[in-house]
Amino acid sequence: MFLLAPLSLCKQKRFIINQMDNKTIHKILTVNDHRIPMVIYDVDVIKRQKTSLDNLFKNVVKKFTIAYSYKTNTALGQTMRDLDCSFQVTSINHLRQVKQLTNKKPFKIFFNSRNLTKKDLKEVIHGGVHLIINSRSQYDMVQELATKQRQKLQIGVRIDTKSLPKNTFFKTVNTGLGLDYQEFKGLPRKSKCLEIVGLHAHIASQNTDLLSIEKGIKVLSRIFEQNNFNFRYLNLGGGFPIQYKNSVPTIKSFAEKIIPAIRKIQKPNPSLEFIIEPGRYIVGPAGYLFARVNDIISNHGKIDVAVINCSVFSSVRDRILSGYVIELPCVVFKKQKIETKKYLIVGSSPSSCDTFGKYVLPKIRIGDILIFSHAGAYCLSNDDFTGVEKPQEFVWTGNHLLPI
């Protein structure tokens, strides 16, 4: 019998944080061992995560929409479409990809980008996509286009609530993501061609600070109360955290902060739609990265180094994004329990930054398989990360610039 044996879980038969059991993993590896390194997404986990959000919010508001944050994992776009999700998109490249997703049921696309050009704007608007503006100059650009085309456009506004979460490495405050309260108040109240129909605020990814959510919603509530707009939706973005190594507040505790505020905002607007844009919470726990140990270098009394056949640059980009704070849970797929040892796990590139983290694991040998869980968010499918255009590559020959 094979055993998944991280130190703290040695006695557990199940890979506790996720659902995949030893038998399933053994079955997968029997046929797919040669494919390692590989990532597997467990659709049941995705469904479970999505259902937990539905259960919390569906009965609170008449209209509840999950707009999946497509950039979190583009490979799971079709799966999310099949689960009837709408989408949140931050680049033109990703917008084009999302439009290709098939499913007969209608769905909404919310577009919000720091990098909105006039050309992109036309593509967004003509494609029937809902635009959420990010800055005053974006407002002016849309206004100019709508006036020129004699068109009445409905848009949303992203708000920088200035609520700075603690203990989170992905912060959006003061980073050019949204108008603050005063800037919002400075927007024209009435415009012939632009109608502001919704507010959007995404505070931070992997946000474990419940107080920051409360503070953020207070700012939004103030805008709802004090402004005479005909708001049709409130979009709270994503950011719901998942448990990597340290425990995080439950999704229920987030709902407990959010629901009373929505109820209050809803009172004068009973048909208000409530939208969230989760990414990590839904797909993160569903991903398993399988890697093989290709070398072990003993460091004479210091921590041993285990080299695996994949790299953080291409398989756990989130580790870099988080400033090396995020460490995915890892287990060894082994035949028997043996003594444990501490390892620095490094990737296959020569970069000193290619480190997966320090782990206490049952003694590993070359050829062993490591399985990292929670590898579903901001990890693998983001080679075109968030859809941003990749700079072209050239060589300079002294005379010419040659495209590669």
Q: Which residues bind ligand PLP (CB under 6 A)?
A: 69, 72, 88, 112, 202, 205-206, 237-240, 277-281, 377
Determine the Cα–Cα distance for residues 404 and 402; give it in Å rounded to an integer: 6
Determine the Cα–Cα distance for residues 139 and 132; give it in Å rounded to an integer: 9
Task: CB nearer to ligand PLP: give 72 or 348.
Answer: 72
Which residues does residue 274 pair with via DSSP β-bridges, in sequence order?
64, 234
Task: CB nearer to ligand PLP: give 88 or 138.
Answer: 88
Q: Which helix (H) or strand (E) element contains residue 199?
A: strand 194-200
Contacts of 94 (CB under 8 A, 6+ apart): 70, 71, 74, 386, 387
Q: In this structure, which amino acid lies at residue 274?
A: F
Q: How far is the CB of 186 from ligand PLP (least distance, A)?
A: 22
Determine the Cα–Cα distance for residues 135 and 367; give it in Å rounded to an integer: 52
For 402, list phi and psi in degrees, rounded to 5. Answer: -105, 125
Q: How far is the CB of 202 from ligand PLP (least distance, A)?
A: 4
Q: How far is the CB of 364 from ligand PLP (least distance, A)?
A: 31
Task: CB nearer to ligand PLP: give 2 or 107.
Answer: 107
Helix (H, G, I), strand (E, B) or coil at 276: strand
Q: How far is the CB of 156 from ligand PLP (least distance, A)?
A: 11
Task: CB nearer to ligand PLP: give 69 or 311.
Answer: 69
Helix (H, G, I), strand (E, B) or coil at 251: helix
Task: CB nearer to ligand PLP: give 273 or 277.
Answer: 277
CA nearest neighbour of 367 among 287, 306, 300: 306
231 and 274 Cβ atoms separated by less than 8 Å: no
Q: How far is the CB of 33 from ligand PLP (least distance, A)?
A: 31
Task: CB nearer to ligand PLP: give 101 or 296.
Answer: 101
Strands 369-372 and 233-235: unpaired
Determine the Cα–Cα distance for residues 158 and 112; give it in Å rounded to an integer: 8
Q: How far is the CB of 172 from ligand PLP (least distance, A)?
A: 7
Length of the chain: 404
Q: Cα separations (Å) of 168 from 67, 101, 171?
A: 23, 33, 7
Residue in the shown chain whose Cβ atom is closest to ligand PLP: 238
Q: How far is the CB of 113 from ligand PLP (least distance, A)?
A: 10
H helices of 102-152, in order, are 118-126, 136-149
Contacts of 56 (CB under 8 A, 6+ apart): 251, 252, 255, 259
Q: How far is the CB of 277 from ligand PLP (least distance, A)?
A: 4
Whether the upstream peptide bond of residue 37 has omega within 30° of 0, thus cis, is yes
Task: CB nearer to ligand PLP: give 139 or 254.
Answer: 254
Determine the Cα–Cα distance for residues 35 and 32; give it in Å rounded to an integer: 5
Task: CB nearer to ligand PLP: give 72 or 161.
Answer: 72
Q: How far is the CB of 171 from ligand PLP (least distance, A)?
A: 11
Task: CB nearer to ligand PLP: give 77 or 279.
Answer: 279
Strands 233-235 and 401-403: unpaired
Q: How far is the CB of 238 from ligand PLP (least distance, A)?
A: 3
135 and 177 Cβ atoms separated by less than 8 Å: no
Task: CB nearer to ligand PLP: give 22 or 206.
Answer: 206
